[in-house]
Structure 1
Amino acid sequence: MPRFPRPAVVAPAVVAIGLLAAAPAASDGPLVSNPHASAHFDLTRGQTPDSVVAERGGSADVSFAFARQVVKVTRERRVHVLATLPPEDHPRTALVNGAVTLGLARAQDGTLYVNYATGTDRTGVWRIPAGGGSPEQIAQLPPDGLPNGLALDERHGVLYVADSALGTVWRVPQSGGAPTAWARGAALTGLPGSADGFGANGIKVHKDAVWVTNTDRGTLLRIPVGADGSAGAVATRATGLDGVDDFVFPGHSDVVLAALSTSNEVALVRPDGTRDIVLTVQDGLSNPTSLAVRGRDLFVADAAYLTQRDPNLLKGRLDAYFARQ
């Protein structure tokens, strides 16, 4: 993962990448069509869109890392603030320094969960009522960590948090409470001596497993969830993913769309390791950090951490192939 600029806007953890699984069939058209900016944001106000989740009806919820906000972007391109996390006068956040809102997850009833990292006892998972309102901290995580990616397994009532600084996947009750260090190990840590030090980053729950990316190591990992909820052995499912951020499973298979932040690309990666670039800077990407899919709508959050220009929410239409997966 690249070194981020430290001035006015300091980049939080680039969120994660992904790939894998059933190889897509050939398509005569583009795998992502009609990419366009659904909204443009203001870098000077800390509106760096780090994580995105899709809602029904074509809208999306986005975390603004340095504005400490979670907002809703409607299909009419209006931006509504759902919640603002409390200010931290003296943040000491690992790897980032500033107070940042990162990973975002949404429950079926509209409740939102967001990671807030400050380097203080406010570091942890916060809950936002459906439709917006006052955020409430439901789990405290170590202040020397960087809770980055966030995934919700609503079927089992748990949240998973990828900690980029401590190389740990935390498991938190959805209702709130004490976190458990669910998975640890070298595969989840950053590289020794790395200038950036980001280990576990993006995270998704998929097919009875937790998938995690390690930004420093450029890997995608799969951790099976045991019948008792424990973590199985970590398996590396992809390597060489330099500059990757968040990832998403656009269908039921293991095919992944990955945000390649430093090269301003979104890639489709097949289980055999072959890849296609489906979006580029020419489509409006500006350091993509997170992806979300609902139906055939694809959302890409562009935080502009490195380009320092045009943070935006990109929207495109997925090829019908993904609906069959």
Structure 2
Amino acid sequence: MPRLPRLAGVAAAAVGLSVLTSAPAVSGEPLMSAPRVVAHFDLAAGQTPENIALEPDGSADLTFASARQVANVTPQGRTRVVATLPAEAHPDTPVVHDALVFGIARAQDGTLYVTYATGTGRTGVWRIGRDGSAPRQIARLPTDGLPNGLALDERRGVLYAADSVLGTVWRIPRDGGTPTAWARASALRPASARRTDGFGANGVKVHRDAVWVSNSDRGTLLRIPVRADGSAGAIETRATGLDGIDDFAFPGPGTTVFAALSESNRVALVRPDGTHSVVLVQRDGLSDPTSVAVRGRTVYVPGAARSTRKDPNLLVAQLRRHFSR
């Protein structure tokens, strides 16, 4: 979530339906088709979608960062608030100076996990059960950090949280407990040595025996192998030049990635060799995209409208082919 302090403004709707792509499908047609905004949100109410997890029925669970909420959006665009994190009277979060809900991960049993950054003892990972009970904090993270993206490895029973300020990937038992600084390196830190600005490690995903992390300041996509004993291997840089990258998603079993480039209002296709090209732009309806999710041939892109200051939304588009690499 780069440049979050610009959150402000009044919601409005302005959508175009054209496609720009330099990554054609085999037939020469654009890679994505029929982009459309399925839900518009209220910027003034803090409905700034930051991260996304998909439900089996095709609906999307979104974190509304400024409202401290998790909401479910149906394929038809109906929006329902699932949970609200407790208010923090005196937030002191580095960089953003507010209490914000960032990453989200969904377990197969429907349990949701989110990161909450407050600069107080509430900073950490929170669990939202299927029974409708109030969110519960299951792990505390350092108050001088900013936990951002979140990923769940159900096979190993652990969560990974990317800290954008401390340049750390935290590993947390799924059932809660003491976090471990699983990976910590300069490649994960913000470009600035100061802790008053900049976003380092941001999005995080578990994919093919590795933890993948984006660094917003450095415009990089990183891969960290998970060793047999669960420890972190050497960090590999898989792509560069992804200015303002936020979160990302894998459209298939290979290492092709769709990345949200929030600052330039684009979604990029990142190939296994690290080259990349633009597949969605602002004219398609993007409004500062913050994350990406893919199921089958449907691509979901939430937008927080941090710089556009209008029309935070959820956009969907259709892929013209599957990805195996």
TM-score by length of 2: 0.91
SS of residue paired to 2:283:
helix
C-alpha distance in structure 1 between counterparts of 2:44 and 2:295, whole Å:
30
Match of 1:150 in 2: 150
Equivalenced residue count is 311
**Following the alignment from structure 2 to structure 1, what is the Cα–Cα distance between the partners of residues 281 and 197?**
25
Distance 1:4 1:128, change over 3 A: closer
AA at the equivalent of 1:200: A
**Is contact 1:39-1:312 (8 Å) kept?**
yes
Aligned residue runs from structure 1 range 112-191, under 5 A: 112-130=112-130, 132-191=132-191
1:110 and 1:131 in contact (8 A); partners too: no
Distance 1:193 1:157, change over 3 A: closer
Check if 1:217 corresponds to 2:239. no
Q: Distance in 1 between matches of 2:34 and 2:66?
A: 29
Aligned-partner Cα distance in 2 for 1:318–1:132: 34
1:6/1:130 Cα in 2 relative to 1: closer, same or farther (>3 Å)? same
Deviation of 1:65 after TM superposition, in Å, equals 0.1
Name the structure 1 match of 2:262. Answer: 261
**In the TM superposition, what is the alpha-carbon distance from 1:132 to its structure 2 partner?**
4.0
Tell me, what secondary structure is at the counterpart of 2:44?
Answer: helix
Structure-2 separation of matches of 1:121 and 1:2: 23
Q: Which amino acid aligns with 1:128?
A: I
Does the 8 Å CA contact 1:25/1:321 hold for their aligned counterparts?
A: no
CA 1:100/1:238 → structure 2, altered by over 3 Å: closer, same or farther? same
- Answering whether residue 74 of structure 2 is matched by residue 74 of structure 1, we say yes
**2:282 paired residue number:** 281
| Residue equivalent to 1:18 | none
* One-letter amino acid matched to 2:216: T
Distance 1:294 1:307 in 2: 27
Name the SS of the counterpart of 2:230 in structure 1.
Answer: coil
Question: Structure 1 residues 107 and 7 mapped into 2: Cα distance closer, same or farther (>3 Å)?
Answer: closer
Change in 2 beyond 3 A, CA 1:3/1:55: closer
State the alpha-carbon separation in 1 of the partners of residues 3 and 146 from structure 2.
16
Q: Deviations over 1:272-306 (max 9, x none)?
A: 33323111111000100011111221110100111
Q: What's the offset of the Cα at 1:226?
A: 0.6
Per the TM alignment, residue 58 of structure 1 is displaced from its structure 2 partner at its CA by 2.0
Matches within 5 A, 1:298-309: 298-309=299-310
Aligned to 1:316: 317
Contact 2:239–2:275 (CA<8 Å) still a contact in 1? Answer: no
3-state SS, counterpart of residue 282 of structure 1: helix
Corresponding position of 1:13: none
Structure 2 counterpart SS, 1:262: helix
Provide the rounded CA distance (Å) in 2 between the counterparts of 1:153 and 1:4: 28
How does the TM-score come out when normalised to structure 1? 0.91
Given residue 34 of structure 1, which amino acid in structure 2 is its aligned partner?
A
State the distance in 2 between where 1:74 and 1:203 align: 25
Distance 2:87 2:170 in 1: 24
Letter in 2 for 1:285: L
* Alpha-carbon contact 2:7-2:307 (below 8 Å) kept: no
Give 2:248's aligned residue. Answer: 247
Superposition deviation, residue 46 in structure 1: 0.3
What does residue range 43-62 of structure 1 map to in structure 2 within 5 Å?
A: 43-62=43-62
Give the SS at the match of 2:228: coil
CA shift for structure 1 position 76: 2.2
Distance between the aligned counterparts of 1:27 and 1:95, measured in 2? 46
How far 1:219 sits from its partner (Å)?
Answer: 1.0
Gaps of 5+ in 1: 10-22
CA RMSD of aligned residues (A): 1.8
TM-fit CA distance, 1:130: 2.0
1:198, CA displacement in angstroms?
A: 1.0
Gaps (5+ residues) in structure 2?
10-22
